[in-house]
Amino acid sequence: MNANGMAGCEDAVLDGGPAHGLRMRVADRPGVIQVTYPCAVDGPTGGAQVEALYVYRRDSRVIQEPLRYGFDVASP
């Protein structure tokens, strides 16, 4: 169990990019975190939604909480 009482979950922080400083809890140390932001669209969408996608990759050198995920500038 970690410091905030959640078994299997660890604190993590995002470093760089549009979500810099965002904190969260993650399970099983995922290698990649995806962050999305809604985008405004013009005209009818037919129910479709558009989101900007940003990718953060885990820094494997960090072994203690908070885990760090760095912004991948080459993300789609």
Per-residue model confidence as pLDDT tens for the chain (76 residues): 445 555 689 999 999 999 999 999 999 999 999 999 999 999 888 989 999 999 999 999 999 999 999 999 987 6
- When divided into structural domains, the chain yields a total of 1
Residue 49 lies in a domain: yes
Residue 2 maps to a domain: no
- Whole-number pLDDT of residue 60: 95
How large is the C-alpha radius of gyration of the chain? 15
pLDDT at residue 30 in the model: 96
- Say what the pLDDT of residue 59 is: 97
Structure tokens belonging to residue 67: 């885990």
Residue 3 lies in a domain: no
Total-model pTM: 0.81
Task: Domain of residue 38: give its range.
Answer: 9-71
- Mapped onto helix, strand or coil, the DSSP state of residue 38 is strand
At 1 the pLDDT is: 42
Helix (H) or strand (E) holding 52: strand 51-58
